[in-house]
C-alpha cells in the first residue's frame, strides 16, 4: 500500500477569533451591499433635502440688507455639495446595479468577490459620511450682519434736485428696486442738464431707503478713462484693497472683484462716461447674465447716446431739458419776484428769455441770476437779441452749452470787463484768487480807466459785477474763484473766439516738472501762465515779442538766468510770488522796461538790485512777506514815479538784526514823492518812521495795512492816530514793547467824532509777542472786525476791559454788543488772560474760536443765545475745556458738541 501524508495545524483560540471576525467583517461589505446601496440613496436624499432647507433660509437671510451667511453654514453647504458629487461618481449611471448583479447564493457571495468587496466598502464609508453630515446640519442661525457691509451706501453732497427732474428720479429708482430689474441703465444728456445731480440723488436714495442691495458703489470715470482707477474704487468699497492687492495685474484684480461681486447684489454707479467701459476687464459681473446675482444693476451717465449702445444698456433715459413750465418756474426763482414785477412788460420778455435757454438748467440758473438786476424792458429786449444771435455761432458742443454760458460774458458792460473775466482763467482750476491780486493785474494790463476813476474802487466794482453775473463765485470776502465749467468756457473763448486778440497759453496747475519743450509756441502768445507747477528750471532765452503777462508763481525755481527776459520787450505783468526757494532776482529783469507789475511776495529774496531802477513804468510792486529782505537801494521806490500799489507787509521781519539798510528808517520820506500812490501796505520798525508817515495826509489816505514791528518805547502808543487811516483794513503788531501799552482817550474820541466807530474799515487785527499790553479795548470802535488773533502776549489780561469806560456814559451804546461781524477769534499763549468780554455776546457770525495755552481763561462770553441757530467750532486744550465755567447748564449743553481738541 502507498504511504499516507498527514498534516496537522496548531493555533491558539484568540488568533482564530480575530481572523474569523476580520473575514466576517469583510464579508459584510458583500452581504450588506444591497441594503447599504438602498440606505445610501435614502440618506443622501434626506441630506439634500436638509441642504435645500438650509439654503432657503440662507437666501432669505441674505436678501436682507447687510446680512451674510455664517462661515460654518457656508462650510457645511460646500461639504454637502462635495459629498453628493462623490456619491454620484461612486454609484455611476446605473446606481450600483452592476455590482449588485454580481451577487449570488442569496447575496452571501459574489461572482467577483474582490470587486464587490471594494465597492461595498466605499458604499459603507459614504453611508457613514452622509449620516454624519446630516447630523451636523442643524443650525439655529444661518446668517449674521456683516461689518464690511455696514457702510453699504455712502451719502454724497448735492444740491436739491432741480425742479422737473423728480419724476425721472422716481422712474430710474423703480427700475432698480422693482422686478424684473433693468440691469444696465444709461442716463444721457447734454452738459449742464443735471445728469450727475440725478445720479447723486439715486445714490442718496439708497441711503434713505434701505434695500436688499449689498453694495452701492460710486465711481467717477471722466474723460481720462483708467480701468485701474475704477478697480481701485471698487476694491476699496468691497474690502479688497490692500498694499499687496493694488500691485496685482489688471486681470488678477478683475478676478478678485468678480469673485466677490458675483455672490452679491450690487449697484454700480458710474458718473461721466465718455466712452465704453469694458465691465468684464474691470471684473464686474454683467447684471444681464445668469452668473450675476438677480437684480444687480449698473447705472451710468454720459453725454453721448452712442455710449449707451456700446454699454449694452437695457434701459436708457434721456435726462432732458426742462419743460416750458418747469423752466419758467426755475428761471423766475433765480431772477426774483422783485425784478419780474418791476415793470409790466418784463414778465412776457422774461418768458421769452427763459425759452431761449431751451430748458437747460445750468443756463436757466446762470442767465436768471445775471438778469436779477435788470429792471428795464430795454435790458430784457437786448438780452433776447444777444441770446438769439450767439446761439448760432458755434458748432458741436458750442452750439448747445457754451453760447448759453457765454451769454453772461457777452452781456458784460464793456470789453474791458470781459478782458478782466478772461484773465481769471490764467489761474488753476478750483483756485481761490485774492481780489486784490486780480485788481493789481487789471491795473497794469490797462483794463481800468485810470484817467476817470480810482483804480481800486473800479477794480472792486468789476469783481462785484462778475460775481453778480455768476461768472465768478465769492469764496471769502477777499477771494473769488471760477466754476470749473465757467473756466472751461473762458478758455474756449480765448482759444476759439478771441484767439488772435487774447493769445492765451495756460498750463496752470498742469503738474509740469519742467517748462514746455516747444518754446517756439510762445512767439505769438500774449499771456502765458505756468503757475502752480513743479518747474525747477526755465528755457535759456525764449523769444516772446508779444508777451504781456507771465505767471511763474508757485513753482520750485531756485534761480532764473539773467538772459531769460531779454526777448520780452512788451512784458507788462510778471508774477513770481510763492517761489520759496528763490533767493536772488536775475539782473535781466532790468531789461523789462515795459514792466508795470512785479510780484515777488512770499519769496526768500534778500536784496533788490540797483538795476531795478530801470523799471520806470512800474505801477504795482508786491513785496509782501519777503521776510528775509535786507537791502533796498536808496531812492529805488521814489524812482517809480508811476507807482500806484506798493505792498510791503511783513518785509524783512526775519532778517538778522543790524543788517537792515538805512532805507527802512527813511521809507516814509521816500514815499512822499509818489503822487499816484493809491494802495500802501507798509512795515515800520521805528517810531520815527511811523511819525513821518502819520504826518502825511497823502500816505494816511492810501494806507490799508500797517505792520508795526519791534517798536520799543517808554511811552505808550496812541492808537487814535491810526483812526485817521480811512482805508485801514489790516493791522499787525509784532514784537513790540511799550511801557504804557496802547492808549486811547475814549471820551475825547466820542466827543470829537460824529461816527463813534472810527475803525470802520478794519476787518483783521493780529497782535503777537507784545509786552506791557494788558487789553485791546479800542477794538470796540471797529464794528466790522472779522478776524482777531492775539498770541504770546504775556501781560494780556482782557481783550475788552470794562474798567476803561468808567464815567463815560456816552460809551454805553458803543460797547453794548461788539464783534457783531466777528468770524474768527484766535488766542494763543496768553498766560494772564482772564476775560474776553465781561458778559455774554450774541456773536451771530462767529465760525471758529481757538484757544491754546490760556489757562487763566475760565469763562467764554457765551450763553445759550450766542451764535444761535449756527454751530461754531471751538478748538483748545482738553484740560482747559473740562475746567471751563459756563453761564448756565443750557449754555454748556448748547456748546457741548462744538469742541474739537487741538
Question: Tens digit of pLDDT for each residue in 788-814?
Answer: 999 999 999 999 987 766 666 666 656
At which residue does the C-alpha cell 409790466 appear? 344
Using the predicted structure, report yes or no on whether residue 3 has a pLDDT greater than 80: no
Q: Output the pLDDT for position 73.
A: 86
Q: Output the pLDDT for position 830.
A: 95
Using the predicted structure, report yes or no on whether residue 119 has a pLDDT greater than 60: yes
**Would you state the cell numbers that stand for residue 844, as one nine-digit string?**
451771530
Q: Output the pLDDT for position 780.
A: 86
Q: Output the pLDDT for position 758.
A: 77
The structure's pTM equals 0.61
- Confidence band of 323 (pLDDT split at 50, 70, 90): confident
Beta strands in 248-377 (DSSP E): 266-273, 297-302, 315-318
CATH number, domain 151-318, options 2.60.40.10, 3.40.190.170, 3.40.50.300, 3.30.70.100: 3.40.50.300
Q: Output the pLDDT for position 393.
A: 38
Question: In this predicted model, which residue has the larger pLDDT, 497 or 533?
Answer: 533
- The percentage of residues in the chain with a pLDDT greater than 70, rounded to a whole number, is 81
Burial of 850 (0-12, 13-18, 19+ CB in 10 A): middle
Would you state the CATH architecture of domain 415-495?
Orthogonal Bundle (1.10)
Mapping DSSP to helix (H, G, I), strand (E, B) and coil, where does residue 368 land? helix
- Helix (H) or strand (E) holding 145, with range, is strand 143-145
Contact 140, 61 (CB under 8 A): no
The whole-number average pLDDT for the span 617-636 is 91
Question: In this predicted model, which residue has the larger pLDDT, 509 or 243?
Answer: 509
Mapping DSSP to helix (H, G, I), strand (E, B) and coil, where does residue 271 land? strand
- Confidence band of 757 (pLDDT split at 50, 70, 90): low
CA 41 to chain centre: 65
Tell me how far CA of residue 643 lies from CA of 614, 635, 853, in angstroms. Answer: 13, 13, 44
The whole-number average pLDDT for the span 52-58 is 87
Q: How far is it, in rounded angstroms, from Cα 258 to Cα 261?
A: 5
Q: Which residues of 368-383 are buried (b: 16+ CB within 10 A; e: fewer)?
A: bbbbbebeeeeebeeb
Using the predicted structure, report yes or no on whether residue 685 has a pLDDT greater than 70: yes
Q: How far is it, in rounded angstroms, from Cα 362 to Cα 359?
A: 9
Task: Say whether the peptide bond before residue 180 is cis (omega within 30 degrees of 0).
Answer: yes
Contact 794, 831 (CB under 8 A): yes
Q: Output the pLDDT for position 876.
A: 94
- Confidence band of 481 (pLDDT split at 50, 70, 90): confident
- Helix (H) or strand (E) holding 435, with range, is helix 435-445
Q: Would the CATH topology of 151-318 be identical to that of 711-806+814-902?
A: no
Q: Output the pLDDT for position 13.
A: 47
- Helix (H) or strand (E) holding 474, with range, is strand 473-476
Domain boundaries, the chain: 14-145, 151-318, 345-411, 415-495, 606-709, 711-806+814-902
- Confidence band of 471 (pLDDT split at 50, 70, 90): confident
**Would you state the cell numbers that stand for residue 169, as one nine-digit string?**
428720479
φ/ψ (deg, to 5) at 190: -70, 165
Q: Output the pLDDT for position 473.
A: 80
Q: Output the pLDDT for position 115.
A: 66
Burial of 18 (0-12, 13-18, 19+ CB in 10 A): exposed
Q: Which of 143-157, 607-621, 704-718, 809-823 has the highest mean pLDDT?
A: 607-621
- The percentage of residues in the chain with a pLDDT greater than 90, rounded to a whole number, is 30
Contact 843, 819 (CB under 8 A): yes
CATH number, domain 711-806+814-902, options 1.10.3470, 1.10.3450, 1.10.10, 3.80.10: 3.80.10
Q: Output the pLDDT for position 291.
A: 46
Query: Over 565-579, what HEC string results?
Result: CCCCCCCCEEECCCC
Q: Output the pLDDT for position 662.
A: 61
Looking at the DSSP bridge assignments, the partners of residue 732 are: 707, 766
Question: In this predicted model, which residue has the larger pLDDT, 869 or 478?
Answer: 478
Q: Output the pLDDT for position 749.
A: 64
At which residue does the C-alpha cell 494816511 appear? 700
Using the predicted structure, report yes or no on whether residue 165 has a pLDDT greater than 60: yes
Using the predicted structure, report yes or no on whether residue 23 has a pLDDT greater than 50: no
Using the predicted structure, report yes or no on whether residue 61 has a pLDDT greater than 70: yes
Q: Please state, rounded to an integer, the average pLDDT across all residues of the chain.
A: 81
Tell me how far CA of residue 827 lies from CA of 742, 795, 848, in angstroms. Answer: 18, 13, 11
- The model's pLDDT over 285-310, given as tens digits with 9 standing for 90+, comes to 988 654 445 678 899 998 767 678 77
Beta strands in 605-763 (DSSP E): 620-622, 645-647, 679-684, 703-709, 712-713, 717-718, 730-734, 737-738, 742-743
- The model's pLDDT over 522-555, given as tens digits with 9 standing for 90+, comes to 888 999 999 999 998 887 788 899 999 999 999 9
Burial of 640 (0-12, 13-18, 19+ CB in 10 A): buried
CA 647 to chain centre: 31
Q: What angle do CA 771, 774, 775 make, to 5 degrees?
A: 125
Q: Output the pLDDT for position 374.
A: 87
Amino acid at each position: 500500500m502507498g504511504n499516507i501524508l498527514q498534516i496537522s495545524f496548531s493555533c491558539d483560540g484568540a488568533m482564530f477569533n480575530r481572523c474569523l471576525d476580520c473575514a466576517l467583517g469583510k464579508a459584510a461589505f458583500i452581504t450588506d451591499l444591497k441594503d447599504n446601496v438602498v440606505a445610501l440613496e435614502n440618506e443622501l436624499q434626506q441630506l439634500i433635502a436638509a441642504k435645500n432647507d438650509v439654503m432657503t433660509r440662507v437666501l432669505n437671510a441674505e436678501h436682507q440688507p447687510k446680512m451674510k451667511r455664517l462661515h460654518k453654514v457656508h462650510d457645511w453647504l460646500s461639504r454637502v455639495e462635495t459629498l453628493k458629487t462623490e456619491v454620484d461618481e461612486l454609484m455611476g449611471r446605473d446606481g450600483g446595479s452592476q455590482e449588485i448583479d454580481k451577487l449570488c447564493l442569496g447575496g452571501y457571495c459574489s461572482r467577483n468577490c474582490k470587486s464587490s468587496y471594494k465597492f461595498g466598502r466605499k458604499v459603507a464609508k459614504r453611508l457613514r459620511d452622509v449620516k454624519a453630515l446630516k447630523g451636523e446640519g442643524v443650525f439655529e442661525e444661518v446668517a449674521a450682519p456683516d461689518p464690511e457691509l455696514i457702510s453699504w451706501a455712502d451719502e454724497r453732497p448735492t444740491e436739491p434736485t432741480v425742479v422737473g427732474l423728480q419724476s425721472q428720479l422716481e422712474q430710474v429708482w423703480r427700475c432698480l428696486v422693482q422686478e424684473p430689474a433693468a440691469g444696465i441703465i444709461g442716463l444721457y444728456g447734454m452738459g449742464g442738464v443735471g445728469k450727475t445731480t440725478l445720479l447723486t440723488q439715486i445714490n442718496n436714495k439708497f441711503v434713505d431707503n434701505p434695500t436688499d442691495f449689498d453694495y452701492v458703489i460710486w465711481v467717477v470715470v471722466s474723460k481720462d478713462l483708467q480701468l485701474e482707477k475704477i478697480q481701485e474704487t471698487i476694491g476699496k468699497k468691497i474690502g479688497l484693497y490692500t498694499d499687496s492687492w493694488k500691485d496685482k495685474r489688471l486681470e488678477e484684480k478683475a478676478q478678485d472683484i468678480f469673485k466677490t461681486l458675483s455672490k452679491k447684489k450690487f449697484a454700480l454707479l458710474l458718473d461721466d462716461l465718455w466712452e465704453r467701459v469694458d465691465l468684464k476687464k474691470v471684473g464686474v459681473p454683467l447684471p444681464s447674465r445668469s452668473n450675476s446675482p438677480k437684480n444687480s444693476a449698473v447705472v451710468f451717465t454720459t453725454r453721448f447716446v452712442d455710449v449707451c449702445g456700446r454699454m449694452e444698456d437695457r434701459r436708457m433715459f434721456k435726462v432732458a431739458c426742462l419743460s416750458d413750465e418747469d423752466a419758467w418756474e426755475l428761471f423766475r426763482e433765480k431772477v426774483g419776484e422783485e425784478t419780474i414785477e418791476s415793470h409790466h412788460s418784463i414778465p412776457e420778455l422774461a418768458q421769452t428769455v427763459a425759452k431761449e435757454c431751451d430748458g437747460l438748467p445750468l443756463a436757466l440758473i446762470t442767465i436768471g441770476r445775471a438778469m436779477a438786476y435788470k429792471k428795464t424792458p430795454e435790458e430784457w429786449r437786448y438780452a433776447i437779441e444777444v441770446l438769439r444771435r450767439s446761439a448760432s455761432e458755434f458748432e458741436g458742443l458750442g452750439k448747445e452749452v457754451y453760447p448759453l454760458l457765454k451769454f453772461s460774458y457777452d452781456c458784460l458792460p464793456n470789453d474791458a470787463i470781459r478782458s478782466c473775466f478772461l484773465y481769471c482763467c490764467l489761474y488753476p482750476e478750483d483756485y481761490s484768487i485774492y481780489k486784490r491780486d486780480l485788481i493789481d493785474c487789471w491795473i497794469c494790463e490797462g483794463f481800468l480807466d485810470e484817467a476817470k476813476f480810482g483804480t481800486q474802487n473800479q477794480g472792486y466794482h468789476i469783481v462785484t459785477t462778475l460775481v453778480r453775473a455768476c461768472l465768478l463765485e465769492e469764496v471769502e470776502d477777499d477771494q473769488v474763484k471760477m466754476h470749473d465749467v465757467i473756466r472751461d468756457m473762458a478758455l474756449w473763448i480765448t482759444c476759439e473766439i478771441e484767439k488772435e486778440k487774447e493769445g492765451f497759453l495756460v498750463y496752470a496747475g498742469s503738474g509740469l516738472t519742467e517748462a514746455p519743450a516747444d518754446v517756439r509756441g510762445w512767439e505769438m502768445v500774449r499771456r502765458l501762465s505756468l503757475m502752480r507747477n513743479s518747474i525747477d528750471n526755465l528755457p535759456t532765452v525764449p523769444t516772446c515779442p508779444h508777451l504781456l503777462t507771465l505767471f511763474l508763481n508757485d513753482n520750485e525755481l531756485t534761480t532764473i538766468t539773467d538772459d531769460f527776459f531779454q526777448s520780452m520787450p512788451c512784458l507788462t505783468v510778471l508774477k513770481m510770488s510763492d517761489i520759496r526757494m528763490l533767493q536772488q532776482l536775475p539782473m535781466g529783469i532790468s531789461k523789462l522796461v515795459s514792466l508795470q507789475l512785479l510780484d515777488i511776495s512770499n519769496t526768500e529774496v534778500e536784496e533788490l538790485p540797483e538795476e531795478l531802477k530801470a523799471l520806470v513804468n512800474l505801477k504795482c510792486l508786491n513785496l509782501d512777506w519777503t521776510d528775509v529782505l535786507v537791502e533796498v537801494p536808496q531812492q529805488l521806490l521814489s524812482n517809480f514815479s508811476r507807482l500806484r500799489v506798493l505792498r510791503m507787509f511783513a518785509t524783512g521781519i526775519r532778517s538778522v538784526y543790524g543788517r537792515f539798510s538805512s532805507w527802512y528808517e527813511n521809507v516814509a520820506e521816500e514815499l512822499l514823492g509818489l503822487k499816484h500812490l493809491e494802495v500802501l501796505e507798509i512795515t515800520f520798525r521805528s517810531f520815527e518812521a511811523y511819525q513821518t508817515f502819520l504826518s502825511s495826509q497823502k500816505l494816511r489816505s492810501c494806507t490799508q495795512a500797517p505792520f508795526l514791528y519791534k517798536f520799543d518805547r517808554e511811552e505808550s502808543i496812541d492808537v487814535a492816530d491810526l483812526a485817521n487811516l480811512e482805508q485801514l483794513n489790516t493791522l499787525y503788531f509784532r514784537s513790540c514793547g511799550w511801557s504804557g501799552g496802547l492808549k486811547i482817550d475814549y471820551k475825547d474820541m466820542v466827543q470829537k467824532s460824529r461816527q463813534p466807530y472810527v475803525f470802520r474799515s478794519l476787518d483783521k487785527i493780529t497782535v503777537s509777542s507784545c509786552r506791557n499790553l494788558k487789553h485791546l479795548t479800542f477794538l470796540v470802535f471797529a464794528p466790522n472786525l472779522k478776524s482777531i488773533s492775539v498770541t504770546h502776549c504775556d501781560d494780556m489780561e482782557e481783550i475788552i476791559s470794562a474798567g476803561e469806560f468808567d464815567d463815560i456814559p456816552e460809551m454805553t451804546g458803543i460797547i453794548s454788543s461788539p464783534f457783531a461781524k466777528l468770524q474768527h477769534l484766535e488766542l494763543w499763549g496768553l498766560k494772564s488772560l482772564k476775560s474776553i468780554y465781561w458778559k455774554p455776546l450774541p456773536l451771530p457770525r462767529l465760525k471758529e474760536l481757538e484757544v491754546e495755552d490760556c489757562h487763566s481763561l475760565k469763562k467764554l462770553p457765551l450763553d445759550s443765545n450766542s451764535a444761535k441757530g449756527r454751530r461754531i467750532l471751538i478748538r483748545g486744550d482738553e484740560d482747559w475745556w473740562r475746567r471751563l465755567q459756563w453761564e448756565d447748564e443750557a449754555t454748556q449743553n448748547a456748546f457741548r458738541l462744538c469742541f474739537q481738541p487741538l
